[in-house]
């Protein structure tokens, strides 16, 4: 496919009902300057250089000496044509695998061959964030940014730090809640040499502050409020289709935190339908941790919906006021999604409408049990990611997902994140486990792989191996 990318067809547009203001693609914005609502990256598809069929992207597989064809994000450049080749900053991200997972299918109650896991932990910094970061750093270059900032529970900071370190032109600062960042991720951010600010507060506090900092100091914001981050994350869905030989699954299941992924995934499918590259979208299922269930409550209890753009903002504001009045704070072992106020809420509601999607929630116990099953099948994932598998099990038990439907779970982050919970799950006796993690509702470890303690004695070691 020798197609010249057309970037003159890209622009930014406010999603606000009654606003819809448009802005040039070159402007570094993370909110609508007119009304403060979220922005989309948009394209005039009628003038785009699109392939006729998704299968045409396969031509890129033969051109891996080209960094843009090597990247699992930029080999779909035609579907995110906002930056020319000269601006693109890629680290070969997105070379991730869609794996058929029959063992996990059995655990979740699906027929063999019906469950697939999309391992985004295999990205350069260990999470799906790199899909978004290559796009955002490319846009930052395009927009002439000289500094970047983000708030993070861990993965975003590691990814920003990695891209910033390699790029060398866009130094970054990351805001993390003290005691609220996963240790390994903090290690990455420190090691990659970015400025780390530990704020005495939680993720929501950091998120609020980083927006203020970005406005005040005109620093380029790398969180998923940034519409170009989401453009990169769309490609996870293209790779799922690629892994299924361009067939659309019945369900795509994803953990919900700040709701960037679910927003991006909905947009990816809506655009593929709009451009005629697929006929129907899969249904999106977004899974909250029970201890961080803002989306679940808003959608299933408050009945908040996108409603063609007429979102009941008053009701959302009242919900948040009540949350503050009751001092209800997110608490889950799935540290990545321990978020009270998801910034992409409205876009996620839109994605749910576009895809006939739904929201479920799962307990930390369900998450850790599912995580152990995923790990036992290879690669593994962090707790937040396993919420997707726990969600499928629950939706399957309720009969919402059929036994023979084809389901893809997005495993957003690597197994080496949050190892304390994993090691405790596999090693602690039940009483000790409840003592250490009872606060999170963890009582049992039904799928524990217990290490066997033996004396330094060959016979006993052999006996333990042979037992």
φ, ψ (nearest 5 deg) of residue 124: -55, -40
φ, ψ (nearest 5 deg) of residue 42: -135, 160
Which CB atom, from 124 or from 154, has the smaller least distance to ligand F0G? 154
119-138 footprint of ligand F0G as x/- string (CB under 6 A): --------x-----------
Contact by Cβ (8 Å): 291, 376: no
Least distance (Å) from ligand F0G to the CB of residue 10? 22
Q: Report CA dihedral (356, 361, 365, 368) to the nearest 10 degrees.
A: 40
Which CB atom, from 154 or from 380, has the smaller least distance to ligand F0G? 154
SS (H, E, C) 377-444: CCCCCCHHHHHHHHHHHHHHHCCCCCCCCCEEEEECECCCCCHHHHHHHHHCCHHHHHHHHHHHCCCC
Does 196 bind ligand F0G (CB under 6 A)? Our answer is no
Least distance (Å) from ligand F0G to the CB of residue 341? 12
Contact by Cβ (8 Å): 74, 90: yes
The H-or-E segment that residue 273 falls in is: helix 260-274
Which CB atom, from 155 or from 188, has the smaller least distance to ligand F0G? 155
d(CA 245, CA 180): 40
| Structure-token match 């389901």, residue found | 407
**416-to-97, 182, 405 alpha-carbon distances in Å:** 17, 10, 31
d(CA 98, CA 252): 12
d(CA 73, CA 128): 11
Does 257 bind ligand F0G (CB under 6 A)? Our answer is yes
Q: Which residues inside 37-76 make contact with ligand F0G, applying CB under 6 A?
A: none
Least distance (Å) from ligand F0G to the CB of residue 176? 8
d(CA 245, CA 55): 8
Q: Which residues inside 325-364 make contact with ligand F0G, applying CB under 6 A?
A: 336-337
Does 156 bind ligand F0G (CB under 6 A)? Our answer is yes
The residue within the footprint of ligand F0G, chosen from 255, 282, 291, 375 (CB under 6 A), is: 255
Residues that contact ligand F0G, how many (by CB under 6 A): 21
The residue within the footprint of ligand F0G, chosen from 304, 345, 384, 386 (CB under 6 A), is: 384
Reported in sequence order, the residue ranges of 240-388 that DSSP labels E, i.e. its strands, are 251-255, 283-289, 358-362
Which CB atom, from 5 or from 254, has the smaller least distance to ligand F0G? 254
Least distance (Å) from ligand F0G to the CB of residue 253? 12
Least distance (Å) from ligand F0G to the CB of residue 224? 6
Edge-to-edge strand ranges of the sheet holding 39-43: 22-24, 10-14, 39-43
Which CB atom, from 198 or from 427, has the smaller least distance to ligand F0G? 198
The residue within the footprint of ligand F0G, chosen from 382, 386, 396, 408 (CB under 6 A), is: 382
Least distance (Å) from ligand F0G to the CB of residue 304? 17
Least distance (Å) from ligand F0G to the CB of residue 133? 11
Does 118 bind ligand F0G (CB under 6 A)? Our answer is no
Contact by Cβ (8 Å): 78, 70: no
- Token couple for 147: 């500094």
d(CA 243, CA 225): 28
Does 153 bind ligand F0G (CB under 6 A)? Our answer is yes
- Token couple for 186: 């903090």
The residue within the footprint of ligand F0G, chosen from 261, 288, 355, 422 (CB under 6 A), is: 261
Does 243 bind ligand F0G (CB under 6 A)? Our answer is no
- Token couple for 408: 């893809």
Q: Which residues inside 401-420 make contact with ligand F0G, applying CB under 6 A?
A: 412-413
Which CB atom, from 124 or from 256, has the smaller least distance to ligand F0G? 256
Which CB atom, from 70 or from 354, has the smaller least distance to ligand F0G? 354
Does 235 bind ligand F0G (CB under 6 A)? Our answer is no
Stretch in the footprint of ligand F0G (CB under 6 A) among 104-112, 239-247, 377-385, 422-430: 377-385
The residue within the footprint of ligand F0G, chosen from 109, 260, 291, 357 (CB under 6 A), is: 260
Least distance (Å) from ligand F0G to the CB of residue 351? 11
d(CA 416, CA 437): 19
The contact set with ligand F0G (CB under 6 A) reads 127, 152-156, 224, 255-261, 336-337, 382, 384-385, 412-413
């Amino acid at each position: 496919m020798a197609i010249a990318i057309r970037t003159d067809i890209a622009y930014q547009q406010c999603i606000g009902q009654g606003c819809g203001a448009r802005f040039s693609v070159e402007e570094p914005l993370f909110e609508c300057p007119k009304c403060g609502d979220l922005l989309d990256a948009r394209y005039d598809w009628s003038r785009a250089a699109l392939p006729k069929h998704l299968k045409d992207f396969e031509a890129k597989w033969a051109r891996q000496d080209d960094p843009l064809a090597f990247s699992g994000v930029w080999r779909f450049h035609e579907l995110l044509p906002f930056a020319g080749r000269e601006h693109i900053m890629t680290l070969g991200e997105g070379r991730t695998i869609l794996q058929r997972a029959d063992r996990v299918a059995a655990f979740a109650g699906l027929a063999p061959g019906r469950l697939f896991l999309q391992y985004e932990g295999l990205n350069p910094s260990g999470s799906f964030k790199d899909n978004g970061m290559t796009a955002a750093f490319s846009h930052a270059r395009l927009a002439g940014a000289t500094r970047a900032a983000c708030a993070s529970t861990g993965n975003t900071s590691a990814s920003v730090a990695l891209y910033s370190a390699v790029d060398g032109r866009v130094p970054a600062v990351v805001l993390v809640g003290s005691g609220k960042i996963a240790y390994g991720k903090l290690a990455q951010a420190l090691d990659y040499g970015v400025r780390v600010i530990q704020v005495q507060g939680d993720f929501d506090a950091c998120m609020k502050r980083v927006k203020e900092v970005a406005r005040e100091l005109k620093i380029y914001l790398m969180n998923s409020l940034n519409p170009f981050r989401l453009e990169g994350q769309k490609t996870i869905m293209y790779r799922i289709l690629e892994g299924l030989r361009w067939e659309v699954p019945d369900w795509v299941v994803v953990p919900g935190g700040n709701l960037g992924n679910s927003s991006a995934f909905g947009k990816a499918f809506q655009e593929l339908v709009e451009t005629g590259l697929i006929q129907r979208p899969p249904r999106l299922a977004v899974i909250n941790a029970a201890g961080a269930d803002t989306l679940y409550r808003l959608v299933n209890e408050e009945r908040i919906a996108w409603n063609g753009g007429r979102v009941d903002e008053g009701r959302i504001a009242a919900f948040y006021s009540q949350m503050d009045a009751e001092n209800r704070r997110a608490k889950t072992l799935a540290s990545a999604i321990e978020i009270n106020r998801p910034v992409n809420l409205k876009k996620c509601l839109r994605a749910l409408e576009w895809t006939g999607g739904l929201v479920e929630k799962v307990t930390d116990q369900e998450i850790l049990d599912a995580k152990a099953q995923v790990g036992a099948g290879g690669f593994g994932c962090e707790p937040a990611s396993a919420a997707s598998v726990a969600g499928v099990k629950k939706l399957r038990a309720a009969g919402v997902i059929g036994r023979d439907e084809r389901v893809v779970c997005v495993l957003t982050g690597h197994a080496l994140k949050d190892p304390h919970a994993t090691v405790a799950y596999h090693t602690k006796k039940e009483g000790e486990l409840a003592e250490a993690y009872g606060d999170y509702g963890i009582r049992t470890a039904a799928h524990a792989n217990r290490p066997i303690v033996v004396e330094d004695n060959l016979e006993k070691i052999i006996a333990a191996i042979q037992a």
